């Protein structure tokens, strides 16, 4: 009786070499690996280019004094970069600015901890106007109605 043939363990399948004539040109090249993106590099996105005729189109009813509704992110950014909120607004807009802060923003800053406790003190002392969250929506609606007239 003939010997029983044993299968070889972990035998590799036959592979077609890259030089095989049956392969097409695009299959012969090894796949290109995408380059890993560096997380420290700033991503640049290009905005669509608008007509230069739109340069002079803006809302002519907007003017100083600007009334600005300040949120928590704005205050956090100014604290981290050691900027005075009102002064940086005035430097940006070149006009008088009246910042509005809601009760919920002040409460949120108080919850953030000791580092952000400085901000509510500055808010109360300065000329900032404090409004309730309910009034916030009403004032925004009123300003939209005025601008439509």
Per the omega criterion (within 30 degrees of 0), is the bond before 100 cis? Answer: no
pLDDT digits (tens, 9 = 90+) for 7-53: 766 677 777 787 788 888 777 777 778 878 888 888 888 888 877 76
According to the model, what pLDDT value does residue 34 have?
80
Q: What percent of the chain has pLDDT over 70?
A: 68
Distance CA 73, CA 50 (A): 30
Q: What pLDDT band is residue 125 in, cutting at 50, 70 and 90?
A: very low
According to the model, what pLDDT value does residue 41 have?
83
Residue whose token pair is 């004032």: 139
Question: Which residue segments constitute the domains of the chain, with CATH numbers given?
Answer: 63-148 (3.40.50.1010)
Q: How many CA atoms lie within 13 A of 137 on its CB side?
A: 2
Q: Let me know: does 122 contact 85? Beta carbons within 8 Å.
A: yes
């Amino acid at each position: 009786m003939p010997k029983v043939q044993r299968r070889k363990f972990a035998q590799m399948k036959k592979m077609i070499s890259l030089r095989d004539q049956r392969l097409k040109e695009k299959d012969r090249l090894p796949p290109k690996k995408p380059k890993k993106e560096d997380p420290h590099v700033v991503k640049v996105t290009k905005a669509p280019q608008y007509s230069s005729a739109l340069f002079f189109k803006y809302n002519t009813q907007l003017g100083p004094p600007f009334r600005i509704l300040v949120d928590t992110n704005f205050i956090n950014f100014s604290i981290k970069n050691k900027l005075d909120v009102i002064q940086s607004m005035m430097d940006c807009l070149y006009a008088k600015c009246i910042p509005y802060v809601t009760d919920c923003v002040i409460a949120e800053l108080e919850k953030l901890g000791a580092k952000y406790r400085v901000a509510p003190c500055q808010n109360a002392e300065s000329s900032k106007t404090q409004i309730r969250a309910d009034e916030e929506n009403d004032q925004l609606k009123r300003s939209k109605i005025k601008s439509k007239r």
